[in-house]
């Protein structure tokens, strides 16, 4: 019986790390779409490919999360641990979902970003992706029981505050410009969605800190 549970625990960890790896791939596809296509004023023919890749990885992450849930509720973990991991993965899963929302907004609304906003939006994207990278590292460190969770959390918190500042700066500049009012609304909504990446990374990071404290009690 103990051997059986040990194998299930190992399988659970394997699936969790596969989920984290898939999240990283989704992040890479999103980054390619934004940095390679959207953040340039010329037309990019590869955008549809990167959008499909982002969707593929996001769907794969959903499948892995469901498999993790099924395995956990087959008596692999004590009830409290199950609930914690389910909630952690639910919160983490919101990040690739935002990636898809942003790319679909650009696709369906045929958005082109004005040149005067590009430097600040590039900075917002850069820091947002760094937050994603850091929270992926923090999740991995939590499950491997490595040190350094608090330092990662502090960096994510600092970056999230910087993203808030950049978001306000971009939107202020947008509405001070002479762009068409309808375009202003569409771009504002896009920037707000991009801002959700760092917001959600920060929420996940804080939740990991709580789980880490519970582990020590």
Q: What is the pLDDT of residues 46-102, one digit of tens each?
A: 899 999 999 999 999 999 999 988 887 765 555 557 788 889 999 999 999 999 999
How far is the C-alpha of 179 from the C-alpha of 183, rounded, in Å?
7
Residue 198 · residue 152 · CB < 8 Å: no
Q: What is the pLDDT of residues 33-43, one digit of tens each?
A: 998 888 876 65
Dihedral angle over CA of 167, 169, 173, 179, nearest 10: 0
Going by pLDDT thresholds of 50, 70 and 90, the confidence category of residue 215 is: confident
Tell which residue, 158, 169, 162, has the closest CA to residue 191: 169
pLDDT at 78: 53
Distance of CA 117 to the CA centre of its chain: 23
Distance of CA 3 to the CA centre of its chain: 36
Q: What is the pLDDT of residues 137-175, one digit of tens each?
A: 999 999 988 888 999 999 999 999 999 999 999 999 999
Tell which residue, 188, 190, 187, 196, has the closest CA to residue 131: 196
Q: What is the pLDDT of residues 87-104, one digit of tens each?
A: 999 999 999 999 999 999
pLDDT at 5: 45
pLDDT at 10: 81
H helical segments located in the chain: 2-33, 47-71, 79-92, 94-108, 118-144, 149-176, 181-216
What's the CATH code, domain 2-216?
A: 1.20.58.220
pLDDT at 145: 87
Domain ranges of the chain: 2-216
How far is the C-alpha of 180 from the C-alpha of 195, rounded, in Å?
22
Sign of CA dihedral 158, 197, 90, 31: negative
Query: Of the ranges 89-103, 177-191, 202-216, which one carries the lowest mean pLDDT score?
Result: 202-216
Going by pLDDT thresholds of 50, 70 and 90, the confidence category of residue 3 is: very low
pLDDT at 51: 95
């Amino acid at each position: 019986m103990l051997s059986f549970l040990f194998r299930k625990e190992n399988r659970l960890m394997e699936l969790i790390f596969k989920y984290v790896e898939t999240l990283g791939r989704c992040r890479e596809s999103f980054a390619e779409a934004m940095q390679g296509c959207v953040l340039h004023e010329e037309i990019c023919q590869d955008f549809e490919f990167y959008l499909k890749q982002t969707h593929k990885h996001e769907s794969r992450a959903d499948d892995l999360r469901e498999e993790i849930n099924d395995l956990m509720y087959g008596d692999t973990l004590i009830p409290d641990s199950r609930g914690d991991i389910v909630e952690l993965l639910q919160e983490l899963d919101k990040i690739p979902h935002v990636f898809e929302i942003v790319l679909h907004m650009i696709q369906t609304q045929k958005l082109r970003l004005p040149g005067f906003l590009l430097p600040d939006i590039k900075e917002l994207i850069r820091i947002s992706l760094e937050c994603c990278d850091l929270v992926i590292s923090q999740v991995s460190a939590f499950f491997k029981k490595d040190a350094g969770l608090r330092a990662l959390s502090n960096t994510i918190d600092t970056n999230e505050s910087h993203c808030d500042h950049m978001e306000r700066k971009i939107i202020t500049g947008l509405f001070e410009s002479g762009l068409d009012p309808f375009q202003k609304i569409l771009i504002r909504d896009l920037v707000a969605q991009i801002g959700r990446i760092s917001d959600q990374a920060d929420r996940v990071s804080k939740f990991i800190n709580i789980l880490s404290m519970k582990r020590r009690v």
